[in-house]
Homo-oligomer: A and B are copies of this chain.
Amino acid sequence: MFTQLKERVLAANLLLPYYQLVTFTWGNVSEIDRDNGVIAIKPSGVPYDKLTTEDIVIIDLDGKKIEGKLNPSSDTQTHIELYKTFEQIGGVIHTHSRNATIWAQAGLDIPALGTTHADYFYGDIPCTRLLTPTEITNNYELNTGKVIIEEFNKRNIDFMAIPSVLVSGHGPFGWGKNADDAVHNAVVLEEIAAMALATRNLNIGIKIQQELLDKHYYRKHGKNAYYGQT
């Protein structure tokens, strides 16, 4: 069962080494089937070049395993929390991609500095607050999801317009319409994170003009978009 879902999730996970977003097994992608209330996710600690469709784990929204022999990703509770709250998303991704992780370790938002950023993210990529010692000790992965959602709510950020976040001291999480789209956004995040590091070195404090951010974001998103073929 859920073969097509598992195949899509397998394919999305195989894009992680292809786009050089991971070292060893440091990343995972999932996709939700909202009609059936199930999520397909990478098994924990399995190298990408060994992954098969059967290895992909099917769980429900309580984290109960529905199908598969392997343990799901240790980050599974974070994925579930995001799916529960961000009801329009279809795929979730977590990596330790180098440049995004650097910003997360520094505990800083990735500022919107140019149109490359604006083409995909309508504003700064937020970095969460630190988790409290209690949040770390008990239900750490669940609380990682909660602190992401708290940050979006606190700042009143539209999670569909900024489909990535940095978890302070940890690394990036992201999402999209489906697993493939989540990976796409993670590739963009990594590139703009690299550009932002060096831009800040050249000209600290510079920001993109609001009008240019608007122009590029809405050139590709929403009802007046005119980029691409549709």
Q: Once the chains bind, are B136 and A206 in contact (CB under 8 Å)?
A: no
Q: How far apart sit A46 and B229, CA to CA, in the bound complex (Å)?
A: 8
Determine the distance from Cα of A216 to Cα of B70 in the docked complex, in whole angstroms: 21
Other 12 A-B pairs with CB < 8 A, given A71-B229, A136-B211: A26-B119, A45-B227, A96-B116, A102-B202, A103-B202, A105-B113, A106-B206, A107-B203, A108-B203, A133-B209, A137-B215, A201-B201
Q: Is A194 an interface residue (CB 8 A)?
A: yes
- Among A46, A140, A202, A203, which residue has the most Cβ atoms of chain B within 10 A? A202
- Cross-chain contact of A101 among B26, B103, B195 (Cβ < 8 A): B195
Interface string of A128-157 (1 = CB under 8 A from B): 001101001100100000000000000000
State whether A212 and B115 are in contact (beta carbons under 8 Å apart), knowing that A105-B199, A229-B71 are contacts in the complex.
Answer: no
Question: 1/0 per residue A91-126: CB within 8 Å of B?
Answer: 000001011011111111000011110010000000
Question: B184 and A71: CB pair below 8 A?
Answer: no
A8–B57 alpha-carbon span in the complex (Å) = 33
Interface mask (A189-230 → B, CB under 8 Å = 1, otherwise 0)? 001001111111111001011011011000100000011110
Q: How many residues of A are counted as interface, with CB atoms below 8 angstroms from the partner's CB atoms? A: 61
Residues A98 and B191 in contact, CB atoms below 8 Å apart: yes
Interface positions of A (Cβ within 8 A of B): 23-24, 26, 43-46, 70-71, 74, 96, 98-99, 101-108, 113-116, 119, 130-131, 133, 136-137, 140, 169-171, 184, 187-188, 191, 194-203, 206, 208-209, 211-212, 214-215, 219, 226-229
B170 contacts A212, CB within 8 Å?
A: yes
Q: Which residue of B lies closest to A104 (CB)?
A: B114
In contact, A226 and B169 (Cβ under 8 angstroms): no
Assess the A71–B228 pair: CB atoms within 8 A.
yes
